[in-house]
Structures are given as structure tokens and as C-alpha cells.
Amino acid sequence: MNARPDIAVPQAVPTSNPECTALLVPGQGSQTAEMAEVVAAERPDLLNLARGELGVDPFETLDEGTRFAQPAIYCASLAYWERAGRPEHAMVAGHSLGELGALAIAGSLGEEDGLHLALLRGRLMEAAGEASPGSMMAVLGGGDRQVYAIAERYELAVANDNAPGQVVLSGPIPALKIAKRELRDAGIKALRLPVSGAFHSAAMAAAGRRLRDALAEVEFRRAGALVYSSTTAEPFRDPRAELAAALTAPVRWRQTIARMHSDGARAFVEVGPGDVLTGLVRRTLEDVESYSLATQEALHA
């Protein structure tokens, strides 16, 4: 999860060398009003599968829970990639849920398998949130040491390290409220996120165990590009173990982007709905291209 940064949008899509292009796949919180139409046009097969398992259209029930939001965003990410002509790339990474889309885009995970995992992941995380109530809070500004110290003082997890000056804390709501007051007293902006659980914290342990059991039955193949885990900030080595562990581990997005840059990425292309990850790249790196396919489509509509 992350808060949307203010970013400037380029007026044309840069021409990038696939050998130094990295695709980025967003996670929960990136939904847009336009994405349902894109999915219906580009990936009706995935939409029908999601409808069949959920019993409803996930795009019509996005605000009703994580179990709807996660499969909807997964479908939308693959649909935007399809609409763009499946652009070539050397690397790909996904933010949290986006890891499933990243593995599917790279050919390591079957696209339908990825959707089934997104459906299961969403249900498990929502159930874990109901069993152990909590939430998340974006912290915008402040030094890392100061913010991490406040998180430790109130036994909150640093769920996302998204970019310089943007982290997300996760934990029980009473502790988040106290931490929010202290952060604001220190002149640091803190914003509660509209989520139903303390994601990327120990509160998701039961969900992680059940997801690990399901992943044991899923086939993974050799990827056609380097796929980076957003929790280890390194290329995936054991997707089954790393996807399950990601439910309780922090998203190290700043470090993931930096690692991809050090491995040669010079253009970062966001392939899902919205442009949140584009903004995070621009906050983290200076000497790169970064743009969102969805935003470019809107500019040229």
C-alpha cells in the first residue's frame, strides 16, 4: 500500500531500449475508475474467471473488501500490459500483490494460476484482518531514523519502505492513532489508509501459512526476464517461499528499485492502473525515465 505522490507526467512516451527497461506492476490501492473498461476489452477471459469464483464482478465491489480489490487489480495489470502490446523488457517487479502480475508477465507463473492466487490471497488477508483487527498508515516526510523509532516505540511494523520520505506503518488501530499524533506533533504528515487489516505484519501470519500450502501445488517455470521480489529486493529464487513470506514481511520498494537500477534498468514502465509506482521511482532515482502506460493512454485519448 502507498499514498499517491504528486508527479509531473511526460507529454510523450519515451523510446526505451528493452535491454534496460523494467516493468513495474502495482499492488492494492492503485485502482482507478477506468480499469474495468480496459479489462473488459483486453482480458474478458480473466474477468469471467474472477466473476465465476467470486459470484460477483470484482470491479463493482472494489470498496467492499480486499477479496475483491486484489483480483481486480491483478486483472487490470495484465490488461494494460496486453493493451500496450506486451512491451519487451529485461526486468520486472511488482509491489506486494503486484508480484503475482510480475511473475505472470515474465512467464514464470501461468496467468490463470496468478488470478487464482490473487483471489485466494485477497480472501486470506481479509479474513486475517477480521481475526486480528488493524490498519495501515502512510508517513510522508521525516527522517528514516525518527519514523522507525516511533514505529518501534508503539510496536508497529514498517510495512512498506516505498521511497525517500514515504513509509507505511502497520498494526493495531489504537497504536496507529497514538503514533499519528506524535508524528504530527513532530511536523510529519501521517495518513490512515483505507484497508481492512495490518498487512505486511505478524497479523498476516495465518494467511501466509495457508498461502504457502496453496503455492506448493502451483507450477512455476523459468522466467523470460529477471523478476525481482519486493521484499528481498533481489531476483526471485524460490517464488513459493518468497510469495508466502511476503504477507508478513515489509515491502522494500525503495531498495528494489535501487537494485534494478544497479542491475542496468534505465527506464521504468508502470503497466497497471494508475501511476503511483511512477511517482515512487521519480522520488527515488534521478537519472531514469519513468512513466505509466495508463497515464500515457489517458493523455492521448
- The residues carrying an active-site annotation are 96, 200
Cβ pair 117, 160 in contact under 8 A? no
Cβ pair 70, 77 in contact under 8 A? no
Write the CB contacts of 54 (distance below 8 Å, at least 6 apart in sequence): 61, 67, 68, 71, 119
Between CA 100 and CA 97 the distance in angstroms is 6
How large is the C-alpha radius of gyration of the chain?
Answer: 18
Closest to 15 (Cα-Cα) out of 299, 269, 273:
269
Cβ pair 139, 190 in contact under 8 A? yes
187 CB neighbour count, 10 Å cutoff: 8
240 CB neighbour count, 10 Å cutoff: 16
> Residue 149 is placed in which grid cell?
523509532
